[in-house]
Amino acid sequence: MQEGQKISLRDYIFPPIHPEGVGFLLIFIFISFVLWVLWSPLGFLGLVLSIWCFYFFRDPDRFTPTQDGLIISPADGIVQAISETSGPKELDLEQDTFIRVSIFMSVFDCHVNRTPVSGKIIKSVYVPGLFLNASLDKASEDNERQYLLIETENSSNIVVVQIAGLVARRIRSDVSIGQQLESGERIGMIRFGSRVDVYLPNTFKPLVSMGQKMIAGETVISDKRVTDECRKAEIR
């Protein structure tokens, strides 16, 4: 969203729906109508599920910070893990060291993913795989996943990995190699519960904590100007 723009109350309550969800929503509504004809309590249940379907595929605008040196959350969800690790071998980065921040998305989170930085996509690799619980560590290596390698203006490499989960059965990527992106721009989505990993250069320090709620396109994961140790937090 551009500076100075505002989100209307209508769009806040009824945000746009992602094109991926239109077909699902129509199916849910049709089934709800049939169930209502057969037995109204079942129709009410179908209506509740239709509302959930709309909520799941919502695609609201976000206010993305635009300062240089920021890395923004690519997904809604909860920070599940923060660890130092080697880069993905699928992108030939196993010799480099990164800070990996893993964000788990439940079926109640918005599943539209966004680029964490402005830059150019220089590699895109799709890997078929299993559909294990996305909260497991081995999901990063065993599950179906989509890798994006983004090169920023200062030549830093940022990696975004969309990982399918136990319920998720489709990763949709809406970007391609050579495409120039602005921070917070939509890059795709994953259906029905999943996870997104973002790999930061090890010169960046995470400004988020385990268990923290993230908002795609808005929450700042890291700021190049901050050199403090990883942030800590507790529930209060």
Q: Identify the CATH number of the domain in which residue 211 sits.
A: 2.70.70
Least trusted range by pLDDT, from 2-16, 23-37, 42-56, 140-154: 2-16
Q: Is residue 79 part of a domain?
A: yes
Closest by Cα among 178, 174, 128, 171 to 150 = 178
Task: Read off the pLDDT of residues 61-95 as tens digits, 9 standing for 90 and up.
Answer: 999 998 889 999 999 999 999 999 999 999 999 99
Domain that holds residue 145: 70-223
Residues 30 and 143 in one domain: no
Dihedral angle computed from the Cα positions of residues 131, 114, 155 and 95, in that order, rounded to the nearest 10 degrees: -10
Looking at the fold, whether 36 and 153 belong to one and the same domain comes out as no
- Domain shared by 87 and 144, yes or no: yes
Per-residue confidence at 30, pLDDT binned at 50, 70, 90? very high
Q: Is 88 in the same domain as 52? A: no
8-state DSSP, 91 = G
- Note whether 184 and 127 are same-domain residues: yes
> What pTM was computed for the model?
0.87
4 domain-assigned:
no
Residue 1 predicted with pLDDT over 60: no
Q: Which residues pair with 98 in a beta bridge?
A: 85, 201
Residues 210, 100: one domain?
yes
Domain count, the chain: 2
- Residue 228 resides in a domain: no
Structure letter (DSSP) for residue 117:
S
Active site residues: 194
- What confidence score (pLDDT) does residue 115 get? 97
Structure-token pair, residue 199: 């790999």
